[in-house]
Amino acid sequence: MATNKEAFDEARQYIAGGVNSPVRAFRAVGETPLFFAAGYGSRVTDIEGLEYIDYVGSWGPHILGHAAEPVLAAISRAARASTSFGAPTVSETTLARLLCESLNGCERVRLTSSGTEAVMSALRVARGFTGRDLVVKFAGCYHGHVDSLLVSAGSGALTLGRPDSAGVSAAVAAETIVLPYNDVAAVERAFSQHGSRIACTIIEPVAGNMGVVLPTRGYMESLAAITREAGALLILDEVMTGFRVAWGGAQRLFDIHPDMTVLGKVIGGGMPLAAFGGRADIMATVAPDGPVYQAGTLSGNPVAVSAGIAVLTQLKNTPAIYRRLEVLSARLAAGLQECAEKHKIPLYIARCGSMLTPFFQQGPVRDLEGARRSDTARFARFHTLMRGLGVYLPPSQFEAWFISNAHTFKDIDATLAAADAAFAQLAKG
């Protein structure tokens, strides 16, 4: 059996960087990436046969845990009928109805295969609807690898210390206004200067790609008001938070009413699926009804759609899942804080529902600059120690941890015991 290092060495011969998404390379923590062979419930097993309690969860989709039986059954039924038609299926309508009925003001949706594709399409629709070109985004928010949004991006780009990507032209970048998160005055200044040219404001209602960063009180309401007063559209990127932090996403949790919403991760149940949607008049601009073109051969893939329906149906019919996730997540966050204080390790924990990030610093963290004050070297050592103790964490300080309904109190307690041992080692220097 190959080791993780051997598998990575071979992958680098055929795959750019040895991985198909940059953060997976583990460079931020100075380790060899894990190659997984299996996952079930709250656990994953690598190709060396080592088992870990998993807090990555495929970066968020596995809210029910790995290989959840309802999802596997749905995928199996759909695949037996065919993996793809490139034509409409009634299951697409079923999923679309679930989304429209659960989101604030969302009357029509369009399914895509990835969050990046959904964001790209939403921006095009916003520009087509308003007849304007400029987009406002926020430093540290990551919206996929769309050219115009790879400006002060978070997630993998931030992890590698290269917030701007080569290959993005100056002309494209010039159409994006980047503002600090949680700064209403900066939004007011931008719209005062460029308001008549701004097509939309796009934001993660709870940032997850500079680590979890919550909006301050009144921030989202102010942002929505300023955006709409200028005739621009408010787009919420809920690829990460949608159906993760609450039924209907962060917009239901915080009572935000966007003009458009972008979704992914949980709505696909671990399969490649995403969506963008909004008011009927806005979505009427999308082809074939309108002049804004968007298409995709595998959009609305029946296997992916079946997985999404299975997850959303389970969440809708079992509201106790969210209550349980809240209890588990609160217990983990409080336990980590207690362990850190016990060993005099500065730690600031930001949490929203079943997403959390322990920042290795005093905090608070309200924006990208605040997140960057974290001790990334100490986090890297903590990651290595926790991995050695059987806990799999995101390989970057600037990512969210995810708790699933498959996690048990025993898992949480085992994780806290490992964290206590890891903090003790960190305290020794």
In this predicted model, what pLDDT tens digit does every residue of 243-274 receive, in sequence order?
A: 999 999 999 999 999 999 999 999 999 999 99
Residue 401: CB atoms within 10 Å: 24
3-state secondary structure of 425: helix
Q: What is the pLDDT of residue 164?
A: 60
SS3 137: strand
Residue 16: pLDDT above 80?
yes
pTM of this structure? 0.95
Please report, for residues 15, 122, 221, 299, the alpha-carbon distance to residue 114 in angstroms, rounded to integers and kept in the order given. 20, 12, 28, 9
Query: Has 46 been annotated as catalytic?
Result: no
Domains of the chain, by residue range, sit at 4-67+319-427, 69-317
Catalytic-role residue among 142, 181, 219, 322? 142
Rounded to an integer, the average pLDDT of 320-330 is 98
pLDDT number for residue 152: 55
Query: Which pLDDT band, with edges at 50, 70 and 90, does 150 fall under?
Result: confident
Q: Which fold has domain 4-67+319-427?
A: Aspartate Aminotransferase, domain 1 (3.90.1150)
The amino acid occupying position 177 is I
Confidence band of 29 (pLDDT split at 50, 70, 90):
very high
pLDDT score, position 159: 37
pLDDT of amino acid 155: 43
Q: What are phi and psi of 395, to 5 degrees?
A: -80, 45
Q: Is the pLDDT of residue 158 over 50?
A: no
How far is CA 344 from its chain centroid? 31
The Cα-based distances of 211 to 388, 400, 407 in angstroms read: 23, 5, 21
Mean pLDDT of the chain: 95
Nearest to 394 by CA among 343, 355, 428: 355
The catalytic residue among 259, 265, 348, 367 is 265
State mean pLDDT over 147-164. Answer: 52
401-402 β-sheet, strand order: 348-352, 355-359, 401-402
pLDDT digits (tens, 9 = 90+) for 187-234: 999 999 999 999 999 999 999 999 999 999 999 999 999 999 999 999
Given pLDDT bands bounded at 50, 70 and 90, which one contains residue 153? very low
For residue 90, give the DSSP letter: H
* pLDDT of 156 above 60: no
Check 237, 259, 367, 411 and give the catalytic one.
237
β-pairing verdict for 260-263 and 134-138: unpaired
For residue range 342-391, list pLDDT tens digits in order: 999 999 999 999 999 999 999 999 999 999 999 999 999 999 999 999 99
Q: Which residues contact 162 (CB under 8 A, 6 or more apart)?
A: none
Which CATH class, in words, describes the domain spanning 69-317?
A: alpha beta
User: Is 289 annotated as catalytic?
Assistant: no
Query: Minimal CA–CA distance to 201: which of 169, 161, 162, 228?
Result: 228
Tokens, residue 148: 């115009």
pLDDT band at 173 (very low <50, low <70, confident <90, very high): confident
Same fold, 4-67+319-427 and 69-317: no
* β strands within 264-312, DSSP E: 274-278
* Catalytic-residue membership of 265: yes
Query: Comparing 64-78, 85-99, 149-163, 315-329, which segment has the lowest mean pLDDT?
Result: 149-163
Q: What single-letter amino acid sits at 418?
A: A
Task: State pLDDT tens for residues 98-125.
Answer: 999 999 999 999 999 999 999 999 999 9
| pLDDT (average), residues 139-164 | 64
Name 126's Cβ contacts closer than 8 Å, sequence gap at least 6: 135, 199, 200, 232, 233, 235, 260, 282
For 41-59, give the DSSP string.
BTEEEETTS-EEEES-GGG
Mean pLDDT of 86-101: 97
Say which range, 106-115, 161-170, 324-333, has the weakest mean pLDDT: 161-170
**Structure confidence by residue, pLDDT tens digits, 395-412:** 999 999 999 999 999 999
